[in-house]
Amino acid sequence: TICSYHYLSKVSRVVVASRNYADFASEATFDIKKCDLHRLEEGPPVTAVLTREEGLHYYRTMQTIRRMELKSDQLYKQKIIRGFCHLYDGQEACCVGLEAAINPTDHLITAYRAHGYAYTRGTAVREILAELTGRKGGCAKGKGGSMHMYAHNFYGGNGIVGAQVPLGAGIALACKYFGKDEICLTLYGDGAANQGQIFETYNMAALWKLPCIFICENNRYGMGTSVERAAASTDYYKRGDYIPGIRVDGMDILCVREATKFAAEHCRSGKGPMLMELQTYRYHGHSMSDPGISYRTREEIQEVRSKSDPITLLKDRMVNNSLSSVEELKEIDVEVRKEIEEAAQFATTDPEPPLEELGNHIYKNEPPFEVRGPSQWIKYKSVG
């Protein structure tokens, strides 16, 4: 059968559809790691069904994010991207798994390691890269940069550690207020988990039964400080105290998906908030100005890459269970690389935003007015 795959792939590349039914399984069931539970009798299921379509979609999405982040690394080293750049490679299973479990009508907010979420929430790669390079074709017209990308039902992209958590609960309050059965996923990191405002938010979310899933992406390090050195309790899924919590293998996209479905159902049923800790890992340092090896060993990074890479895990599962083939996934890799190259080309050639627009977007729905520049003789027009 392996020989016939090769033959078919050379002869009829176009006819992929008919290959599905003939050569691949339509779905497979996988055992997934059981989640640690806090204040819960039952947790998410320990098996997950993955269809071929889902698998291909998750693979492509994760690979796109991976290559997009690596391209950003390249552009940053060429000084075409400036300022802060916090990369997400290694954590792809989190953003793709979360999105797979919710609806586009649900809401999501995160901190500054947000490029992956900007993508899964609907922003095109070229708009993300052009925002990083500060061009007018960027998703925020070059006004925001790496930490301030927004999309429909995606509220950034927030630069102040922890500040996005009360915002997320406020979005959840709006969901409840409007009564449209929507929820808000409110993300923060292991570093932010020690912020006081998060505990204030836990209290109000629980008190008012807000449909909010608090999600701690624990990648083991808050900048250069390991979790052991920052937190008296590193059981982040328990830190909501009276809020039920689950600890999830954040490198396994199916684990993330099933846990999120479980938590979403809890919130939608009006039971109030839930807390999810996703155990994950970032390959890059905290940001592009952090090599990421002064507080952790190269061996540790290499070990995660070889044993727990989320894309490799999915690929192995799919190939070993006839959901896809090495060749088919390689084709996707080639397509993804091409897409990223084209997006990077756009991001490096698109013009910067025009100076005349410097003053825009100070106020919404306001008649045009003047904004002061660096001196009293320099004025910019401001339209909302």
Task: Pick between residue 10 and residue 180 the one whose CB is nearest to other proteins.
Answer: 180
Answer yes or no whether residue 376 interacts with other proteins by CB under 8 A. yes
66-93 CB burial, b ≥16 within 10 A, e <16: bbbbebbbebbeeebbeeebbbbbbbbb
Task: Pick between residue 79 and residue 364 the one whose CB is nearest to other proteins.
Answer: 364
Answer yes or no whether residue 82 interacts with other proteins by CB under 8 A. no
Answer yes or no whether residue 34 interacts with other proteins by CB under 8 A. no
- Residue 36 Cβ, how far from other proteins at the closest point, in Å? 27
- Helix, strand or coil, per DSSP, at residue 365: coil
Residue type, 168: G
- Residue 274 Cβ, how far from other proteins at the closest point, in Å? 18
Answer yes or no whether residue 207 interacts with other proteins by CB under 8 A. yes
Find the binding residues for other proteins in span 137-166 (CB under 8 A): 140-144, 148, 150, 155-160, 163, 165-166
How far apart are the C-alpha atoms of 344 and 92, rounded to whole Å? 20
| 83: region left, alpha or beta (phi > 0 left; psi from -120 to 50 alpha) | left
Member of 10, 79, 298, 364 binding other proteins (CB under 8 A): 364
Answer yes or no whether residue 381 interacts with other proteins by CB under 8 A. no
Member of 362, 368, 373, 379 binding other proteins (CB under 8 A): 362
Member of 43, 116, 134, 170 binding other proteins (CB under 8 A): 170
Answer yes or no whether residue 168 interacts with other proteins by CB under 8 A. yes
Answer yes or no whether residue 363 interacts with other proteins by CB under 8 A. yes
Task: Pick between residue 156 and residue 310 the one whose CB is nearest to other proteins.
Answer: 156
Whether residue 131 contacts residue 290, with contact meaning beta carbons closer than 8 Å, is answered with: no
Residue by residue, DSSP assigns 315-358 as: HHHHHHTTS--HHHHHHHHHHHHHHHHHHHHHHHHSPPPPGGGT
37-46 CB burial, b ≥16 within 10 A, e <16: bbeeeebbee
Residues that bind other proteins (CB under 8 A): 107, 109, 140-144, 148, 150, 155-160, 163, 165-175, 177-178, 184, 196-197, 200-201, 203-204, 207-208, 360-366, 369, 371, 376, 384
